[in-house]
Amino acid sequence: MSDLRTESLEGWGGTLLAVHRLGAGRPVLLLHGLFSSAEVNWIKFGHAQRLADAGFEAIMPDLRAHGQSAAPHEPEAYPEDVLVKDAFALAAALGLDDFDLCGFSLGARTVVRAVVAGMAPRRLVIAGMGIEGLDNWARRSAFFIDAIDRFDEIKRGDRAYFAQAFMKTQKVDRVAARLLLQSVDDTKAEDIARITVPTLVVCGDEDQDNGSAPRLAQALPNGRYAEVPGTHMSSVTQRQLGEAIVDFLAA
């Protein structure tokens, strides 16, 4: 992967974000999931390389408070929908006007919110997300905030054990992550119904973490559904995820 390039660009409010780029074709902006990184979700298991091989440029930021990006501890660095604000800032900095947009899990929530806010990709990919997961974020985030608050007390068998283990593996800045979790907003059914861009909803066959992906595809005016093997955590390791994204974007 010799042509992988990494640069630092300003997100909202001047926060520096690491942006990884692979390939030299049509741009695809890819946003990773919670506590993860571009490396884990897009690079490590070959999805970015598949896009590059198919004639795309994979543009993969580490979200703020994730990966190699800055993780400020000031609450004012995490206004409502700050990840959406970052996406717009990066699109402007990179000069993206004709591009595709893809997100997994928290990244999926973010790309949906971005389109609702006016971002206009040619095609949209929502991965690892169901219709229920786009709403009622307070319940979902409460689980992770609890895992952060009890981090040093969690033992094997605790419902938060795997979240704790993943945060340890990814060396998550828990102060920044807690602030970020409180900045994410909901997307209502009426907003989903207004997304007319051609959209692929792709999800693991054992992934129910964020509700029903087929129902989300049905709720989108121009949506379609693709199933790949795996749970929420394992589906990103499967080549079929990258293949489904490439097949949809290249059609």
> What per-residue confidence (pLDDT) applies to 179?
98
Mean pLDDT along residues 44-53: 98
> What per-residue confidence (pLDDT) applies to 54?
97
Task: Tell me the average pLDDT of the chain.
Answer: 97
> What per-residue confidence (pLDDT) applies to 227?
98
d(CA 201, CA 164): 28
> Residue 88's CB: how many other CB atoms inside 10 A?
16
Residue 2 has pLDDT above 90, yes or no: no
Number of domain units in the chain: 1
CATH number at residue 72: 3.40.50.1820
> What per-residue confidence (pLDDT) applies to 152?
96
Nearest to 213 by CA among 204, 221, 195, 222: 204
> Is residue 224 domain-resident?
yes
> Is residue 153 domain-resident?
no
pLDDT in tens, 55-89: 999 999 999 999 999 999 999 999 999 999 999 99
- Domain holding 75, by residue range, is 5-133+185-250
**Residue 72 pairs with which residues in a beta bridge?**
none
Threshold 0.85, pTM exceeds: yes
Q: Per-residue confidence at 136, pLDDT binned at 50, 70, 90?
A: confident
Mean pLDDT along residues 31-54: 98
pLDDT in tens, 137-163: 988 899 999 999 999 999 999 999 999
> Is residue 209 domain-resident?
yes
